[in-house]
Chain A
Amino acid sequence: MAKKMHDTPMLDKLESGPWPSFVTGLKREAAKKDIMVDLLGQLETSYKTKKGYWKGGTVGVFGYGGGVIPRFTELKDEHENPVFPDAAEFHTLRIQPPAGMHYDTATLRKFADIWDKYGSGLIGLHGQSGDIMMQGCTTANVQPAWEEINAMGFDMGGAGPALRTSMSCVGAARCEMSCYDEAKALRTIINANIDDMHRPALPYKFKFKFSGCPNDCVNSIQRSDMATIGTWRDNIQVNEQQARDYMKGHGMDKLVNDVISKCPTRAITLRNKADAVTGDSISTVAVDDQHVMQIENHDCVRCMHCLNVMPGALLPGKDKGVTILVGGKSVLKIGATMGTVIIPFMKLESEEDFEKLNEMSRNIIDFFAENALEHERTGEMIERIGLVNFLEGLDIDVDPNMVNHPRANPYVRMDDWDEEVEKANERKAAA
């Protein structure tokens, strides 16, 4: 039994209604734990005054420089004593989940038991970067809790100017759009660079994210410094039975309005069977006895729309790989930026392919570590130095897929134009 609950009239109002209530959960823990009784007291105060009362500090585990988010209360009485002493320390341990956030119940029960023993019992599943957030722990309990979690085979996530916990989509585990082994890519890269997660020494945070296809279910373009996104080079695969099923279920107007006219590059044409065109880059599928749908794959930008609307009827091609984009981040300090293409396509199947990706990731982190200013993200660094300097630093060739359109202003020195043309010709010859 814990101590008496504080009155929480504001929070009580968040217990009614159809959505699961976190307040009800906090109260269940408060029935057992003083730390949660006082956490509710502080939270209610925040609701009343519209002010936050946490400050950071330094709390960590032996051997690591990051991964614990320290929280000390600033809500003090006139003698500088915490108003809610049992929640005066309320730290979070960020723990990396299995790639794709798959669990068996034995593991989750063990987390719940450990957090009953050492913490507030409150587990956030998951943070926006993908961490298991074990929330609410005293300074003294951080180390023993961590040792038990670590003994389960789980490792701490990132915080501060460090490599951060990564995310991959469900992908190959349960999605026909998946173009590579997302979990393997995530584990290859994160585990090879784990030192940069545990010992923060980068200019600022660095995030990798992995999506199996351009639907980008883990928001990698906007939320990661390096996005690895599945794609393919050859023709969209078709399945006539599924296409006919779609047509039977939806009809011609849906096919035209929902699929064909919403293709962003007008790569899809509906034709009478007799007028069907042929060619190496054309995917053709009959939708009924009279009509075929034809995709000019050179025009297709792999946006995923038609595959999403006609699942199973249209599938990614067989020559799969990934596109790499660099520089996505949120608002601070120059405004949100999206990742931009630096590798339009690379294969990601063999061990050597994964090793190549791993090497490139390492090079990018190293370049970032050496060239970014303090508290500058990759996207900001590229904005400051220009994409070309970044590419040259990494020895990556320029490619027209990297731009929306070529330069539209003449403000540039082009002294060695001829040499650059020579290089372009060499690249062409080598391709």
Chain B
Amino acid sequence: MAELRAPDECGVPDPMPFMHPTLRENYGKWVFHSHPKPGVLYHRAENGTEVWTVKFGTARQLDGYTVRLLCDLADKHADGHMRFTARSNVEFMVTAESKVDPLIKELNSHGFPVGGTANSVSMISHTQGFLHCDIPGTDASGVVKALMDELHEEFIKCEMPNRVKLSTSCCEINCGGQADIAIIMQHTKPPKINHDLVANVCERPTVVARCPVAAIRPALVNGKPSLEVDEKKCICCGACFPPCPPMQINDPEHSKIAIWVGGKNSNARSKPTFHKLVASGLPNNLPRWPEVAAVVKNILAVYKADAQPWERMGDWIDRIGWPRFFEKTGLPFTKYHIDDWRGSRTTLNASTHIRF
């Protein structure tokens, strides 16, 4: 066997050698930005240097051909540099306004949608799903592809009241994160335990400790050490599944998709907020999830028609109130919308503030 090379623990690379030279030279010296048109940002530095950024969407999971195509386009149009955003959009920087339109034209000709800036619906932040996670209830890249096809017009235009950020997660762990609209797998049945495997693959005390409601007990099943679940207590969160795969939580029929709205990371206007449950029970209908797309598009349409400029989804709902959110979107309000987890009383209306 060949000699193994000890790693060079070089850590995070210095971004300077990779950065577009205009950004590097004006690092920390920017004073103005504007949005000339959807997908394009304009920035000016204090010494008058100007830079135009063209932002476009990708599939995030990039094959070699696409990576090299991006490189060819960046060499041709953008001085051989690019950067990626936290939502997997790509940004090409150009130093003359005249370079913007030819770049957009060429990006579009290769099928890259230019947009995702300002008050548009940006790319969905998402997870791994069937492609690479070991516990997914659904796919991630496929949901995103299907939804972004439907929301394409909203990505390439800036017609929303404020920016809209979406996320999807293929289990309740929610690696996709908080969002204006979050699409999250919701299990509805307790795990089915494959007792034959527990003894071999699971560290039972670890699994027992993971459960947020202490529903799991060690048990002897058919004379072998296994686990049992108090199904009345179980909240179907799936936390036991990662440490113990025999706790089969994924259920092709009963695992459903839920929609949450009003999450916001930024501190702008209101403090950051978590998204809230508005719909559930949607089928995991691969490969295009039409029922999920319909609910998301409906919420977006109502928000677009009703919110004031600069109101994020959550700001809008703060103004109109939850009853009217449910009224306007036509989504049913059920007992499951009322929280009963720890600290839930702070989510109840302790006032006579009621809109009629």
Chain A residues close to B by CB (< 8 Å): 10-11, 13-14, 16-23, 25-26, 28-29, 39, 43, 46-47, 49-56, 61-64, 69, 71, 90, 92, 96-109, 111-112, 115-116, 121-126, 128, 130, 133, 135, 143, 146-147, 150-151, 153-156, 166-167, 169-170, 172-176, 178, 181, 183, 186-187, 190-191, 194-195, 198, 214-219, 221-223, 239, 242, 254, 257-258, 262-264, 301-305, 308-309, 311-312, 315, 330-336, 338, 374-375
Contact = CB atoms under 8 A, between A and B. Distances in A.
Nearest to A198: B9
Contacts of B88: 125-126
A12 B132 CA distance: 19
Contacts of B84: 97, 101, 103, 125-126
A176 B31 contact: yes
Given A150-B7, A258-B309, A334 B132 contact: no
Contacts of A53: 130
A21 B287 CA distance: 13
Contacts of A29: 63-65
Interface in B10-47: 10-15, 17-20, 23-24, 27-28, 30-34, 43-44
B85 A54 contact: no
B133 interface: yes
Nearest to B155: A19
Contact of B245 (A55, A263, A309, A374): A55
A109 B113 contact: no
Given A104-B80, A174-B30, A62 B6 contact: yes
A335 B288 contact: no
Q: Which of B30, B81, B342 has the most CB of A within 10 A?
A: B30
B175 interface: yes
Interface in B117-176: 125-127, 129-139, 141-142, 145-146, 148-149, 152, 172-176
A186 B12 contact: yes
A219 B152 contact: no
A276 B43 CA distance: 32
B67 A99 contact: no
A311 B34 CA distance: 7
B12 A175 contact: no
Nearest to B41: A174
Interface stretch (B98-106, B216-224, B261-269): B261-269
Interface stretch (B51-59, B225-233, B297-305, B327-335): B51-59
B contact face: mostly helix, strand, loop, or mixed: loop
A311 to B, nearest CB: 5
Contact of B130 (A43, A109, A315): A43
Contact of A50 (B127, B131, B284, B288): B284
Given A219-B178, A332-B173, A19 B11 contact: no
A258 B263 CA distance: 21
A92 to B, nearest CB: 6
A123 B67 contact: yes
Q: Which of B12, B139, B174, B286 has the most CB of A within 10 A?
A: B12
A25 B177 contact: no
Contact of B19 (A13, A18, A23, A102): A102
Given A105-B74, A150-B7, 5 more contacts: A29-B63, A50-B252, A99-B12, A174-B30, A315-B31
A47 B287 contact: yes
B32 A311 contact: yes
A12 to B, nearest CB: 9
B11 A98 contact: no
Nearest to B3: A62
A167 B12 CA distance: 10
A99 to B, nearest CB: 5
Give the 4 A-B residue pairs with the shortest CB-CB distance, closest first.
A17-B149, A312-B32, A25-B63, A191-B11
A21 B138 CA distance: 18
Q: Which of A20, A29, A150, A218 has the most CB of B within 10 A?
A: A20
A55 B267 CA distance: 39
Contacts of B27: 172-173
